[in-house]
Amino acid sequence: MESLRRIVYLVFRPQAEWDLIAEEKTSVDELLRRYILPLALLAPIATMTGMKLFDRNWDPVHGYLVPSEQILAAGAATYFGIVGSILALAAIFALLAPMFGSARGYLASLKVATFGAVPVMLAGATMLIPVMAIVGLVGLCHTLFLLWLGVRRVLRVPAGSQTEFIGISIVLLTFASVLAGAAASAIGLI
What's the mean pLDDT in 46-67? 71
The candidate with the shortest Cα–Cα distance to 7, out of 120, 137, 140, is 120
What is the number of structural domains in the chain?
A: 1
Higher pLDDT: 78 or 57? It is 78
Higher pLDDT: 127 or 64? It is 127
Residue 181 belongs to what domain range?
A: 2-186
pLDDT over 90 (residue 24): yes
What's the mean pLDDT in 94-98? 97
pLDDT tens, residue by residue, 59-71: 566 666 677 788 8
Long-range contacts of 92-96 (CB under 8 A, 24+ apart): 92/169, 92/172, 92/173, 92/176, 93/151, 93/155, 93/169, 96/165, 96/168, 96/169, 96/172
pLDDT over 90 (residue 164): yes
Q: Using pLDDT thresholds of 50, 70 and 90, give the confidence band for residue 138.
A: very high
User: What integer pLDDT is reported at residue 123 of this predicted model?
Assistant: 95
d(Cα 180, Cα 188) in Å, to the nearest integer? 12
User: What integer pLDDT is reported at residue 185 of this predicted model?
Assistant: 86
